[in-house]
Amino acid sequence: MNKTIFFVMGVSGCGKSSIGEGISSYLSIDYVDSDDFHPATNVEKMKNSIPLTDEDRKPWLDALNKMATECVEKKQPIVIASSCLKPSYRKRLQQSIEEKVVFIYLKGSFEKINARMKQREDHYFSGEDMLKSQFASLIEPEDNESIDFIQVDIDQLNIQETISNALSLLKAKAYI
């Protein structure tokens, strides 16, 4: 396996958890949801529909990078679901382990993702305004960004098709 740290990224509601779990199952490696690494203050803000600032995200991004770095050191591949909305976040997440990281960008339209979010129950991140804030913050990965990534367009795909598509793209780029 060329890459060992797989960040499944995109706005809330795009399917990061489901896709991440599917990829981790196929690769027989661990999966974690980055939401579990948010400090309590961040979770409280999101529960109250208050968008996080870049400053709010720093300790969270650093905790994720630390965990990913430890996985590289222990030679334990992992799939991590995380929004990774901006180049600065992605840079921070892969700091010192760039050669081991690949980002799997789940690209979808606001309309499709908003419809999916309305079907979720008991999730602290909810509401159209919160989703709008994520889309407003999102800077899609581009070829000139110093990251390895694939893009999966999710609007026309179900979960299984998205997982299959992601795995095919990872194989085509020799990341797995």
Separation CA 36–CA 54 (nearest Å) = 18
Q: Given a cut of 90, is residue 11 above it in pLDDT? A: yes
Superfamily (CATH) of domain 5-172: P-loop containing nucleotide triphosphate hydrolases (3.40.50.300)
Q: Which of 98, 92, 7 is nearest to 58 (CA)?
A: 92
Q: Given a cut of 70, is residue 42 above it in pLDDT? A: yes
Q: Given a cut of 80, is residue 120 above it in pLDDT? A: no
Contact 32, 67 (CB under 8 A): yes
Q: What is the pLDDT of residue 36?
A: 92
Across all residues in the chain, what is the average pLDDT?
A: 92
Q: What is the pLDDT of residue 49?
A: 76
Averaged pLDDT for residues 85-108: 98
Separation CA 119–CA 171 (nearest Å) = 32
Averaged pLDDT for residues 84-103: 97
Q: Using 50, 70 and 90 to split pLDDT, how confident is the model at 127? A: low
Q: Given a cut of 70, is residue 122 above it in pLDDT? A: no
**Residues with Cβ < 8 Å from 111, sequence gap 6 or more?**
none
Q: What is the pLDDT of residue 118?
A: 76
DSSP secondary structure letters along the chain = ----EEEEE-STTSSHHHHHHHHHHHHT-EEEEGGGGS-HHHHHHHHTT-PPPHHHHHHHHHHHHHHHHHHHHTT--EEEE----SHHHHHHHTTT-GGGEEEEEEE--HHHHHHHHHH--S-SS-SHHHHHHHHHH-----TTSSS-EEEEE-TT--HHHHHHHHHHHHHHTT--
Q: What is the pLDDT of residue 116?
A: 81
The full set of domain ranges for the chain reads: 5-172
Separation CA 47–CA 68 (nearest Å) = 26
The percent of residues in the chain predicted with pLDDT above 90, rounded, is 79
Q: Given a cut of 70, is residue 124 above it in pLDDT? A: no
pLDDT in tens, 54-72: 999 999 999 999 999 999 9
Q: What is the pLDDT of residue 128?
A: 78
Separation CA 176–CA 161 (nearest Å) = 18
Roughly how many angstroms between the first and final C-alpha of the chain, as a whole number? 5
Give pTM, 2 decimals: 0.93
